[in-house]
Amino acid sequence: MQVKCTILNYKKPSQYDNKNILEIIVSNSDQKKWEYVEKSDQEEQLLKDQKASTPEIDIHFDEEEAQPYLSMDKTSLIKEILTLKKESSEHWDQFVRAKAETNNVMNSAEKEKQNIRNYALKSFVQSLISVIDNFERSVEGMVADPANVVSIKEGIELTHKDFLSTLEKFGVEMLNPTGERFNPEFHEAISMQPSPDNDPNTVIQVLQKGCLLNGRLVRPAMVIVASA
């Protein structure tokens, strides 16, 4: 049987002026039993210090929300408190697990991002290796037979074609706008020249090809434009 003891702070009857009164409430009983015990001054001071050190808690609540609980008996309130405590513990556990999972996802994403940064050029480099191989074979051919111009030309053309093909795989497009209408978004006019055979504002010569990467301008084509 559980017993709750509470010190009563009210004027004691005269016959007990030198005693401390303890109220003993027996669980599941409305009856109150009284016991009168002697307390030393040291114990009295200890009780006063404990009371002084206990912070006052100001609880605010909505009266409408509290109404159902006001009509509950002690047993029902205890059950409600235990139920809420259990739910609170479950919610806290779910929160901790969700937070841990979120941290794991964030760490995994950061690691993946770092891998992308470290190895983004891996495929590009692997493709360029074949271009370098063709270039080196062309150089070896020129050294072995400098007089064979046709073979040297074929080797250079093959290397150039292979290099452009590699660039196209990665979204690189070279701009060669000869004969096209001048477009300031992709072309940079170096000069204008009369050209009877072309309409005004037509690109008649490309001094340096332009370049696009996935449709975005990397370098404009430097051109000469037909004047009016």
Instruction: Inform me whether the pLDDT recorded for 2 exceeds 60.
Output: no
Spatial strand order in the sheet of 216-219:
172-175, 210-213, 216-219
For residue 96 the two structure tokens come to 């901790």
| pLDDT for the residue 187 | 96
Q: Is the pTM of this model over 0.85?
A: no
Between 179 and 63, name the one with better pLDDT: 179
Give the pairing of strands 32-37 and 221-226. Answer: unpaired
Identify the CA nearest to 19 among candidates 31, 28, 29, 11: 11
pLDDT tens across 10-61, in order?
A: 344 444 444 444 443 344 444 444 444 455 666 677 777 776 666 655 666 6
Q: Which residue has the tokens 């072995």?
A: 144
Judged by average pLDDT, the poorest of 60-69, 156-165, 193-202 is 60-69
| pLDDT for the residue 19 | 42
CA 63, 65, 70, 74 torsion: positive or negative? negative
**Residues forming beta bridges with residue 215, ordered by sequence position:** none
How many Å is the Cα radius of gyration of the chain? 46
Give the pairing of strands 187-193 and 221-226. Answer: parallel
pLDDT tens across 46-105, in order?
A: 777 776 666 655 666 677 777 777 778 888 888 888 888 999 999 999 999 999 999 999
For residue 130 the two structure tokens come to 């074949």
CA distance 47 to 62: 34
C-alpha to C-alpha distances, 181 to 22, 98, 175, 194, 225, nearest whole angstrom? 104, 59, 13, 15, 9
What is the 3-class SS of the chain, one letter each residue? CCEEEEECCCCCCHHHCCCEEEEEEECCCCCEEEEEECCCHHHHHHHHHHHHHCCCCCCCCCHHHHHHHHCCCHHHHHHHHHHHHHHHHHHHHHHHHHHHHHHHHHHHHHHHHHHHHHHCCHHHHHHHHHHHHHHHHHHHHHHHCCCCHHHHHHHHHHHHHHHHHHHHHCCEEEECCCCCECCCCCEEEEEEECCCCCCCCEEEEEEECEEEECCEEEECEEEEEECC
